[in-house]
């Protein structure tokens, strides 16, 4: 459970949702200008040097900056793809991050693992997650269906 300004969210059904609908921030309208690829992993590392742990384990991470409707950076999102899974990391700031392993090999997909909290704790959990298909790697779908993080992480 993650909290900001008294509101809380968690995984409900197939995705993240606010546990108190009245506390949900308004969802901004998104346009084609709302994402931009980070030019390199180095740019992501300049923003959050803590990401060096993940990049050192798996060099195929790709990062994007998601912006609000006014063009201000709102999220740094990272994704690494495996043959049947994708690991994703959403960073709002150093205090609020979310990581998930998603099953992408089937149309219904689903979440097989997730962790949230501070950036350091989330990176630690993600870096200790076994690669898909290896002993100890999560494989059971915990939450079926598509995964949609909240408009604001928390």
Note the pLDDT tens digit of each residue in 27-36.
Answer: 444 444 445 5
For the question of whether the overall pTM of this predicted structure is more than 0.85, the answer is no
CB 98 within 8 A of CB 122: yes
Output the pLDDT for position 89.
96
CA 67-91-129 angle, 5° bins = 145
Element (H, E) at 121: helix 119-127
Note the pLDDT tens digit of each residue in 35-87.
Answer: 555 657 888 899 999 999 999 888 899 999 888 889 888 889 999 999 999 99
């Amino acid at each position: 459970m993650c909290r900001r300004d008294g509101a809380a969210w968690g995984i409900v059904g197939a995705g993240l949702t606010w546990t108190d609908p009245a506390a949900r921030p308004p969802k901004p309208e998104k346009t084609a200008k709302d994402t931009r690829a980070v030019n390199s992993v180095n740019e992501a590392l300049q923003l959050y040097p803590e990401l060096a742990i993940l990049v050192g384990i798996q060099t195929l991470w790709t990062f994007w900056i998601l912006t609000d409707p006014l063009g201000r950076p709102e999220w740094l999102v990272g994704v690494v793809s495996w043959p049947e899974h994708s690991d994703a990391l959403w960073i709002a700031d150093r205090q609020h991050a979310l990581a998930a392993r998603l099953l992408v090999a089937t149309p219904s997909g689903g979440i097989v693992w997730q962790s949230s909290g501070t950036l350091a704790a989330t990176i630690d959990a993600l870096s200790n997650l076994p690669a898909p298909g290896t002993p100890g790697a999560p494989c059971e779908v915990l939450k079926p269906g598509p995964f949609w993080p909240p408009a604001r992480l928390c």
